[in-house]
Structure 1
Amino acid sequence: MRHVSDKAVVKNSGGLGETISVIVQALLLALVIRTLLFQPFNIPSGSMRPTLLEGDYLFVSKFSYGYSKFSIPFAPDLFSGRIWSGEPQRGDIAVFRKPNDTSLDFIKRVIGLPGDTIQMRGGVLYINDVAVPREKVGQIDNPDVTEVNRPVDVYRETLPNGITYDTLDLTANGLGDDTREFVVPAGNYFMMGDNRDNSSDSRFDVGYVPLENFVGRANIIFFSIAGKASPLEIWRWPSEVRFGRLLNSVNSAPSSVQNN
């Protein structure tokens, strides 16, 4: 009797066409993730020190506040307003488009909600005429964190909803330490940097930020490099990468506070 044995047939399905297909699918998947879920951003300025430093690279969740035309790369004017809208919460660190120049991405902390009255008096933040608790917790004497070659006072603020964070006080009686009252219009938010004496924010030319301008909420620091180095300069990683900041929440990265 003749025995018939099954043989597995292996088909060589490689080739240029399949390679191109895989690349296109990967690019489309990356575009969907970047547009709808998480977008990487880097910090180019010191306005959010000591919380965020120049050279920090963040993942920003796009779905936290829903989607507007600014959620899509290159901001095509497909629709107005937001869809699946979520409201920014007081204390969030958020990326948004600058209202008077929507080609620029800014990152600041949400301080004032629609209808709030915001004012700075003698360096103290007031929300609806109530002072936000502010406690001096020490100093930072590290130019990588403060950008200056001297000790800088650090004050910890606690917002009405319990969100706590550190702020820098670079200059006594600075330009932004005493302001007029700002009444936040409906559908808008008041944004401030944690580096209170070196932040272009809603106290100055940024003004109130419409909900439509929000891009997303900052969540995770996935990479951080000092010395104005590029992440592509791998040879500088041993001396410049801030290993203690990698994969930290934006509100939990170490800031080198020294108690007095």
Structure 2
Amino acid sequence: MIKIVIMAVVLAVVIRHFIFNTTMVIGQSMEPTLHERERMICLVFPNYFSDPKRGDIVIIDAPDESGKEYVKRVIGLPGDHIQIEEGKVFVNGVALKENYTHPGVSTGIYQDKAWDIKEGEFFVMGDNRQQGMSIDSRYFGPVEKKHVRSRAALRYYPFSKFTVFSH
């Protein structure tokens, strides 16, 4: 019996840290795409084979070392220049088409309004661009790849909003 329990615990740890995990959305930073208390399955293993792509929804370690995780969208990739001007996000001088944000809401800034993304970094933002609704790379800067935990694969709860996220 003890062997079975130990094997089950080891298997659970391996699955959670190397294959997939589940997460619950806390807060409003990803609205209108994701809402409070929605649940997702997130894949860990793709991080071993490729970098996240622009538009992917990722789970990152909170930069304040609180042990929390944030759900954000990848906006900038290594080598990109990100700039926010007049409420619009520009990637390498081209306005980003963001059909996942609230229509008519302009993207604000915290301190900086431009960033150069280094190798091994990503610029992430919440979809909710209303003032003060998302603490993201506009606030804490680009995120190192090692802090990208997993990528959203599917929303399974509520069942009426079941969604498979493309990669």
State the Cα distance separating 1:99 from its structure 2 match.
3.0
Q: Distance in 2 between matches of 1:220 and 1:187?
A: 25
For the aligned residue pairs, the C-alpha RMSD in angstroms reads: 2.4
**Alignment CA distance shift 1:88-1:217 (3 Å):** same
Shift of 1:34: 1.0
Match of 2:28 among 46, 54, 79: 46
Q: 1:104 to 1:170 in 2, by over 3 A?
A: farther
**1:213 lines up with 2:147 in the alignment:** yes
Change (3 A) 1:28 1:170: farther
* Distance (Å, rounded) in 1 between the aligned partners of 2:104 and 2:67: 29
Q: CA deviation at 1:200?
A: 0.8
Name the CA distance, whole Å, in 1 between partners of 2:19 and 2:107: 39
Of residues 47, 54, 68, the one that matches 1:104 is 68
User: Is 1:117 matched up with 2:81?
Assistant: yes
Are the counterparts in 2 of residues 51 and 250 from structure 1 also a CA contact under 8 Å? no
For residues 107 and 47 of structure 2, what CA distance do their matches in structure 1 show? Answer: 33
Q: For 1:90, what is the secondary structure of its paired residue?
A: coil
**SS in structure 2 opposite 1:167?**
coil
Partner of residue 135, structure 2: 200
1:145-169: per-residue Cα shift (whole Å, max 9, x none)?
A: xxxxxxxxxxxx2xxxxxxx42025
Aligned AA (1:189): F
Contact 1:118-1:127 within 8 A present in 2 as well: yes
The partner residue of 2:121 within 174, 188, 195 is: 188
Unaligned runs of 5+ in 1: 1-17, 67-84, 134-156, 158-164, 225-242, 252-260
User: Kindly, what percent of the aligned residue pairs are identical?
Assistant: 33
Aligned to 2:101: 167
| Distance in 1 (alpha carbons) for counterparts of 2:111 and 2:148 | 27
Q: Is contact 1:219–1:249 with CA below 8 Å preserved after alignment? A: yes
For 1:115 and 1:169, locate their aligned partners in 2 and report how far apart those are by CA, in whole Å: 29
Task: Give the TM-score of the pair, scaled to structure 2.
Answer: 0.86
Q: Quick check: 2:125–2:138 contact (8 Å CA) kept in 1?
A: yes
Partner SS, residue 168 of structure 1: coil
Deviation at 1:182, TM superposition (A): 1.2
Q: Secondary structure at the match of 1:103?
A: coil
Letter in 1 for 2:59: V
Which residue identity is paired with 2:19? L
Structure 2 partner of 1:249: 164
- Which residue identity does 1:27 align to in structure 2? V
CA deviation map 1:205-248 (0-9, x unaligned): x2110011111101111223xxxxxxxxxxxxxxxxxx3113x2
Matches within 5 A, 1:63-82: 63-66=45-48
TM-score calculated relative to the size of structure 1: 0.57
Deviation at 1:132, TM superposition (A): 1.9
How many residues align? The count is 164
Mapped to 2, the partners of 1:112 and 1:191 lie a distance apart of: 7
Q: Highest Rg: 1 or 2?
A: 1
- Where structure 2 has 5 or more consecutive residues not aligned to the other structure, the ranges are none
Hey, what's the Cα distance between the residues in 1 that align with 2:59 and 2:90?
23
Relative to 1, partners in 2 of residues 1:178 and 1:122: Cα closer, same or farther, differing over 3 Å?
farther
Shift of 1:176: 3.1
